[in-house]
Structure 1
Amino acid sequence: MIVGDARGIFIPALEDYPLGRRALRGLRLIHTHLQEETLTQDDLTDLALLRFDLVAAIGVRDGLPGNIHVAHLMPAGKEPFEILHNQNFHSFDLDFIPFIESLEEEMERSRHFNPDDRRERAILVSVSKRPRYEQEDSVAELDELARSSDLLVLDTVIQRPKEINPRYLMGEGKIKDLVINALSKGATILVFDQELSPSQVKAISELTELKVIDRSQLILDIFARRAHSRDGKVQVELAQLKYRLPRLTGKGTAMSRLMGGIGGRGPGEMKLEIDRRRVRDRITLLEKELRSLGEARKQRKQRRIETGIPIVSIIGYTNAGKSTLLNSLTKSYVFVEDKLFATLDTASRRLRFPRERDVIVTDTVGFIRDLPKDLLTAFRATLEELEDADLLVHLIDASNPRFEQQIDSVQNILRELQLHEKPRILVFNKIDKIPAEETGNLAMRYDAATICARDPSTFNPLLRAIEDNIWSEKLVETEV
């Protein structure tokens, strides 16, 4: 029971009545209107945002109940709610339990997913003033990221406002409509393509019980799932904690939902009472461990340098096929999956060329545009191994319609790492997925090799390019 005052009622947090996988909460909001007014917009908004079974307002006349005004939610695809005809309170008769059970069954039928599917259900959201084609490209990549994180994507919402709202990105009315629509479709999480500030996460989370994350958090979640080596796990946890530190705002629902990530992966569920000092202590400890791991990497690197064997590093946008190429070139097995960021841990293998000449081939973490700064910083140590490479093989997914933007993204990250002047060859992969004529055009236009990483019979142009770049340069140096 809630006791209000003349100005209204305050609905407390409803953690004891979670939505879970149900369409409705299992609570009814029944309150009085002292002036016998009908249901207000606030009543209907609470009904939709909090997923009450029903909201009813009983008008008061001379201190006694007058008319009753009732509304309930509707299945997705119809009007968001239905207002029942006003009736005298004493003559109002509704067999409530069968009515709500029937309504929930209809809501379940209108949803476009299997109720037994236990994945998180996402609405992808983009709010930007960028050109629409850029926005759509970015959202398409966000969709791939979401699926790589095992999210079930229910819908995509693209907004192009004249001005970005500093509190919600979009206007308050729009964000409420978004949340109501997401809840009616059975979503459990909102994923924003734009990076949200701590205050924006808090503001949006105060409107809804849905989890609220952004692109950076999604990428961090994927990295947490993919990291297998101690090096990778430390780097990911460090990046996650640095991302979360400014979002430790004390009490509030925003952080409690954020801390779990998508499935509670990574450093684990932290209680809201945790203070910044403990997080900073953990960051300091991880940075120390990362330096120690870095020393071990340097020793391994020094041993490689002493052997005098050239190093060829395969780089490229995520999911370009780098691990598949490494496996095919060296007849080894490195984990391969057709998902973004399937590989996080650097792998090195030896490749033998004619005349008893060897190279070490390394596979690196995939690049992506708008990579979270903390993540790039954490993985800089791994990417620094590229400094010792004699040659970079820049692998490109020829079948991806956004390959030009992906080339630019890789070049920008190389520039950030001050590796843009390293010897580099372009290699277009997945030519089995594009017309032969297009393959030839790409090779000429970019002065590139073209291959199918699954088919070693296509590797001759690539192997010749590696040979020419490594040993012809060494031959020139010897002659000089």
Structure 2
Amino acid sequence: MIETAKQQERAILVGVELQETENFDMSMEELASLAKTAGAEVVASYTQKRERYDSKSFVGSGKLEEIKAMVDTDEITTVIVNNRLTPRQNTNLEAAFGVKVIDRMQLILDIFAMRARSHEGKLQVHLAQLKYMLPRLSGQGIMLSRQAGGIGSRGPGESQLELNRRSIRNQIADIERQLKIVEKNRETIREKRVDSTTFKIGLIGYTNAGKSTIMNLMTDDKQYEANELFATLDATTKKIYLKDQFQVTLTDTVGFIQDLPTELVAAFKSTLEESRNVDLLLHVIDASDPNHEEHENVVLDILKELDMTDIPRLAIYNKMDVANNLVATVFPNVRLSARDKGSREALRKLLIDEIQQNFEHFSIKVNQDQAYKLYQLSQLALLDSYSFETEVEEITGYISPKNKWKLEEFYD
């Protein structure tokens, strides 16, 4: 049997800019990146300025004909609209173009479905897809009329449409039940993590800013990283040693994006909440992206929605090797390229300095016969160097206020 390669979809992008639309050009550029991430070849992009979206066809009749001509002459297989379409608009556009029409929401859902790896991530994506699909079942032609037709099927009966709706509602209920079980287990794990004495760091940032690269840099692990949007969806937590035995956890999470559909914000809230109980947030920013300032604002807005603005935050301007004339707008910050030699050590020192600022300085006197206790203390505190050249050594360092009680065993 000869396998044929799957033909790449040829796509046209369509966007309508209203008077109140913000960052329209950035949004269209992002749509192109999303389409490429999903595996499409972007052939052309059509935009239009209007006072309001056309209720029937989203774009005006003239633009509709212009796009249709391109679809007919250039073997276009997919039209991607940079807004959320109503079921009616979607149906009318597909009828007009004769090819598949999807909106930004469907495109993001498709990428999330490709990227989800964990059981919970797959459940969350499936739930969001079903909730998106449910109101869009109506108006899909004869397939959804009577389920059989002919003798024995007359009378009220139940239409295929209602059967499909009931099936989707049942699937939604079943997935929500499964997610409650998963969430309960995750909450138990998170509570143990919150109660632990380990310092916790969370990586956040706009999608494709380089969070997974930073994660790999610090952990020597091979988390999936690529120059793609939403390369990481499932939260990943690793342990790293920053200094001697002082250990921290580092959590990588899903990237943020502007106009993230509400269904997905809700579905992935649990993933984003992995960073709610951390002691320090590392806000990774793509310094080479000309729209990085808008990206920063998107991240900060989502942090406000999640009530996470009170967590200490350090900005990392990444990809400085390809950045031009960066004007930093988030402070405090550090500038680096995660792929450059020496970045790991520079970031490690920076994290130690930042943690020291959030810890309290201490000084204790330790007898030589108590030196064995310092190993355990060094797991919780950043200790300065010591030598025990005398019977009693003065030990200095920095420790978290919540762990300060651990020093009591050294006091007379």
Q: TM-score scaled to structure 1, two decimals?
A: 0.68
CA–CA distance in 2 between the matches of 1:166 and 1:124?
A: 19
1:190 aligns with 2:79: yes
Q: Gaps (5+ residues) in structure 1? A: 1-114, 256-270
CA–CA distance in 2 between the matches of 1:180 and 1:466?
A: 56
Partner in structure 2 of residue 470 of structure 1: 355
Q: Deviations over 1:269-302 (max 9, x none)?
A: xx97752121111111111111111112112223
Partner in structure 2 of residue 278 of structure 1: 167
Q: 1:289 to 1:129 in 2, by over 3 A?
A: same
Whether contact under 8 Å (1:206, 1:254) holds in the other structure is: no
Partner in structure 2 of residue 237 of structure 1: 126
CA–CA distance in 2 between the matches of 1:373 and 1:143?
A: 21
CA–CA distance in 2 between the matches of 1:170 and 1:330?
A: 49
Q: 1:249 to 1:414 in 2, by over 3 A?
A: same
Deviation, 1:238, is: 0.5
Q: 1:305 to 1:445 in 2, by over 3 A?
A: closer
CA–CA distance in 1 between the matches of 2:5 and 2:358?
A: 60
CA–CA distance in 1 between the matches of 2:288 and 2:143?
A: 39
1:220 aligns with 2:109: yes
Q: 1:279 to 1:364 in 2, by over 3 A?
A: same
Counterpart among 159, 164, 178 of residue 53 in structure 2: 164
> Secondary structure in 1 aligned to 2:45?
strand
Deviation, 1:445, is: 7.2
Deviation, 1:254, is: 12
> Secondary structure in 1 aligned to 2:282?
strand
Partner in structure 2 of residue 47 of structure 1: none
Amino acid at match of 2:188: Q
Q: 1:249 to 1:200 in 2, by over 3 A?
A: same
CA–CA distance in 2 between the matches of 1:274 and 1:208?
A: 29
> Secondary structure in 1 aligned to 2:276?
helix
Q: Deviations over 1:298-338 (max 9, x none)?
A: 12223323431111010000111111110110111111121
Whether contact under 8 Å (1:201, 1:254) holds in the other structure is: no
CA–CA distance in 1 between the matches of 2:167 and 2:21?
A: 43
CA–CA distance in 2 between the matches of 1:282 and 1:368?
A: 28
> Secondary structure in 2 aligned to 1:186?
coil
1:388 aligns with 2:277: yes
Whether contact under 8 Å (2:71, 2:97) holds in the other structure is: no
Deviation, 1:472, is: 3.2
Q: Deviations over 1:360-387 (max 9, x none)?
A: 0010001000001101100001111111
Counterpart among 187, 190, 213 of residue 298 in structure 1: 187
Q: 1:131 to 1:195 in 2, by over 3 A?
A: same
Whether contact under 8 Å (1:450, 1:462) holds in the other structure is: no
Q: Deviations over 1:139-163 (max 9, x none)?
A: 1110000000000111110111244
1:205 aligns with 2:94: yes
Partner in structure 1 of residue 309 of structure 2: 420
Q: Gaps (5+ residues) in structure 2? A: 145-159, 362-399, 406-412
1:451 aligns with 2:336: yes
Amino acid at match of 1:398: A
Q: TM-score scaled to structure 2, two decimals?
A: 0.78
Counterpart among 318, 335, 345 of residue 234 in structure 2: 345
Q: Deviations over 1:381-420 (max 9, x none)?
A: 1111111111110000000111001001111111121212
> Secondary structure in 1 aligned to 2:359?
helix
Counterpart among 13, 34, 45 of residue 145 in structure 1: 34
Q: 1:352 to 1:336 in 2, by over 3 A?
A: same
Q: 1:364 to 1:133 in 2, by over 3 A?
A: closer
CA–CA distance in 1 between the matches of 2:22 and 2:268?
A: 30
CA–CA distance in 1 between the matches of 2:143 and 2:73?
A: 21
Q: Which runs of 4+ in 1 moved over 6 A?
A: none
Q: 1:427 to 1:157 in 2, by over 3 A?
A: same
Aligned length: 347
Q: Deviations over 1:154-201 (max 9, x none)?
A: 111011124431221222343133122222111011100111122211
Q: Deviations over 1:327-366 (max 9, x none)?
A: 1101111111211111111111111111421110010001
Whether contact under 8 Å (2:238, 2:250) holds in the other structure is: yes
Counterpart among 258, 270, 295 of residue 406 in structure 1: 295
Higher relative contact order (CA 8 A, sep 6+): 2
> Secondary structure in 2 aligned to 1:353?
strand
CA–CA distance in 1 between the matches of 2:141 and 2:347?
A: 55
Deviation, 1:452, is: 1.2
Amino acid at match of 2:301: N
Q: 1:414 to 1:245 in 2, by over 3 A?
A: same
Amino acid at match of 2:240: L
CA–CA distance in 2 between the matches of 1:388 and 1:254?
A: 49
CA–CA distance in 2 between the matches of 1:421 and 1:305?
A: 16
CA–CA distance in 2 between the matches of 1:206 and 1:272?
A: 20
CA–CA distance in 2 between the matches of 1:382 and 1:373?
A: 15
CA–CA distance in 2 between the matches of 1:133 and 1:369?
A: 10
> Secondary structure in 2 aligned to 1:167?
coil
Percent of pairs with identical residues? 36
Whether contact under 8 Å (1:212, 1:254) holds in the other structure is: no
CA–CA distance in 2 between the matches of 1:213 and 1:175?
A: 15
Amino acid at match of 2:26: D
Amino acid at match of 1:219: I
Q: Deviations over 1:30-87 (max 9, x none)?
A: xxxxxxxxxxxxxxxxxxxxxxxxxxxxxxxxxxxxxxxxxxxxxxxxxxxxxxxxxx
CA–CA distance in 1 between the matches of 2:40 and 2:296?
A: 27
Partner in structure 1 of residue 43 of structure 2: 154
CA–CA distance in 1 between the matches of 2:103 and 2:277?
A: 34
> Secondary structure in 2 aligned to 1:195?
coil
> Secondary structure in 1 aligned to 2:96?
coil
Whether contact under 8 Å (2:219, 2:239) holds in the other structure is: yes
